[in-house]
A and B are shown apart, each in its own frame.
Chain A
Amino acid sequence: MNVVVCGKVIPASSVTIEIDSNTKRMVRKGVPHELDPAAASAVEEALRLTEKHGGTVILVTMGISDATIGIRNALAMGATSAVHILDEAVAGSDTLGTAKILAAAIKKQPFDLVICATESSDSYSGIVPGQIAYFLGVPPVTFAKEISVAGSTIIIKRQSESGYDLIECALPALVAVSSGINEPRYPQLKGIMAAKKKEIKVYTAADLGLAPDQVGENGAREKVLTVGRPAKRQAGKVVTDEGDGGKQIADFLAEIKVI
């Protein structure tokens, strides 16, 4: 079973992400990057499935050159190879543009199953996987907590408001996994060495047959009008516990008449 994992390399969790008020985009250049933990879960799930059923795991990602560090991490975990869409022309893409680009790149790979994170840990829109599925012409199953394969069908345990749903879906398909689905493995030295020799194919939008007006800012349907800071909450007080912290909180609760 060949799996394509679609995941993002994002500013490291130690970085406070800023939005540039001129470009109205997140500042990505010049900050340390890492494989999105949500994408690491998607890679892990793909590795577990192919370890059991055979096949390849190809990571497809779009991002700036700093993304390479995260791609190497996925390869060190065990992914077979990677595809990196690296092109200034795709900067400023909205969700729809992003999905068109990723779908075009995925179509060039062999796949029975595409696994995505339900949402990235930096922008959280949560609709790119479903858009990719539409452009690939495969059914989408999102918020997966568990995936099992039975021949040409997959059974998915899907998070629901009141518990979970058992979903049956024919392959090929796209599954978006929730980040708690597994504990991603740490790359071992052997994997890190092997990753150096693995192939990273680099594509531009033009390589994927996408015209300049379909991607990037020109192709975006969503336009950010203003970037602002919300009205701050009135600053409260912060104190350090010196042994009576619990009592002080009780006093505060009395002050606001909760007790």
Chain B
Amino acid sequence: MAGVIWVYAELNDDRITTTTLEMVAKAAEAGKAEAVLLGPAPEDAVQTLAKYGATKIYRSADPIYREYLTLPAAETIAGLINTFKPAVMLFASSYTGRDLVANLSARLDCGAISDVGDFKLKDGSVEATIPALGASYQNTSTLVSQGTKLLLVRPKSFEPEISEQAVAIEEVPAASDDGLRKVRMKERVTVKREGPQLEGAKTIVSGGRGLKGEENFAMLSDLAELLGGAVGATRAAVDAGWVPYAMQIGQTGKTVKPDLYIACGISGAVQHLSGMKTSKTIISINKDADAPIFQYSDFGMVGDVFKIIPQLIEELKKRQGG
């Protein structure tokens, strides 16, 4: 249907994710927003979606969607798309979102656009803006297949603006075929995170390969504490096992947009830049004067992080004390 934009409503820790709400708000602005909400959800989930502009929710509370990954949800969504034919369906660029879009784009033979930063409806199709190769290009793409257009949307692309709507709920039958029960969730393990969280932090101090080891993240914590911020990391630092994945900023980690971002020993790989380049002010410290990170920095310091950061910490203590 022309102008109808669906959003796959994703839950994390029993809450509708922020990216979902950002997408619903954008859908409501660009057309008529509707959402698909599958699996057990908290009581206020429907109202939350309505608050950001959803006018209709396709809903099944069946536990199959929580107990088995990807296949049951893809089956149900494919059926709904074939019946109701929305113009566009939006998914968050998350673990679940990517899995569903992969399956649906193959099943419906319609393709998909990944890593969308913005989009508009145009001439019966969609025109999406994609920050390609991390940050160095800004391309636009469209989908030439018939039917519903599937987009994977980057977190923090849109403002989660409130526009309260009256909402209708359409109960949908749950997927039940045994063939869909192939990927079973045995257990969800929560890894406890220490210190302030990246989400919502006004200041982020982040470390990369140049930090050389786990123990050196301590000085970043000290710096972050002095500035009332949180500590992040690049994929290289996470892959090396120095810090947990929850701290990863970048394409496969978190997308952040703090007021101040201090990049320490980070060269500025495409993977990392795409997760932080819209920060308001960026300061970077790196020993390599040619590191790409400097092109994105408001203030760049070429030098040794192990000398500069301790000096900065001392200086901040001195100034804050005085």
Contacts and interface: CB of A to CB of B under 8 A. Distances in A.
Interface of A: 16-17, 19, 24, 94-96, 99, 118-119, 121-122, 124-131, 133-135, 139-143, 155, 158-170, 173, 178-180, 220-230, 232-241, 244-250, 252-254, 256, 258-259
A244 B319 CA distance: 15
Contacts of B190: 162-163
Nearest to A126: B98
Contacts of B311: 244-247
Contacts of A134: 102-103, 106-107
Contact of B245 (A121, A141, A159, A224): A159
Given A162-B12, A163-B190, A223-B142, A252 B70 contact: no
Interface string B57-85: 00000000000011100000000000000
A245 B311 CA distance: 8
B289 to A, nearest CB: 7
Interface stretch (B39-47, B133-141, B209-217): B133-141
Given A95-B112, A166-B187, A245-B308, A19 B302 contact: no
A143 B95 contact: yes
A61 to B, nearest CB: 19
Given A167-B186, A226-B139, A131 B298 contact: no
A123 to B, nearest CB: 8
A100 B270 CA distance: 27
Contact of B106 (A99, A142, A222, A224): A99
Chain A: interface secondary structure?
mixed
A241 B288 CA distance: 12
6 smallest beta-carbon distances between A and B, as pairs: A130-B102, A221-B111, A246-B311, A241-B303, A180-B239, A246-B312
Contact of A96 (B111, B271, B316): B111
Given A124-B251, A135-B106, A142-B99, A258 B70 contact: no
A248 B102 CA distance: 48
B297 interface: yes
| Residue among B136, B294, B297, B299 with max Cβ neighbours from chain A (10 Å) | B299
Interface of B: 12-13, 69-71, 93-95, 98-99, 101-103, 105-107, 109-115, 127, 131-133, 135-145, 152, 182-191, 203, 227, 235, 238-241, 245-246, 251-252, 259-260, 270-271, 277, 281-283, 285, 289, 294-304, 307-316, 319-320
Contacts of B185: 165-167
Nearest to A237: B299
B189 A130 contact: no
21 contacts: A118-B252, A124-B271, A130-B101, A134-B107, A139-B71, A142-B98, A159-B245, A160-B189, A161-B94, A165-B185, A179-B235, A222-B113, A222-B143, A223-B144, A224-B141, A228-B137, A236-B282, A236-B299, A237-B299, A241-B304, A253-B316
Contacts of B127: 225
B286 to A, nearest CB: 10
B138 A229 contact: yes
Contacts of B141: 222-225
A240 B287 CA distance: 9
A236 B302 CA distance: 13
A170 B260 CA distance: 47
Contacts of A245: 285, 301, 303, 307-308, 311-312
Given A180-B241, A240-B289, 7 more contacts: A134-B102, A164-B189, A173-B182, A180-B238, A230-B137, A240-B302, A241-B301
B189 A239 contact: no
Contacts of A258: 203, 227, 259-260
B127 to A, nearest CB: 7
A250 B115 contact: no
A244 B131 CA distance: 36
A152 to B, nearest CB: 12
Contacts of A19: 132-133, 137, 139
Contact of B301 (A24, A165, A222, A239): A239
B131 A230 contact: yes
A141 B69 contact: yes
A119 B189 contact: no
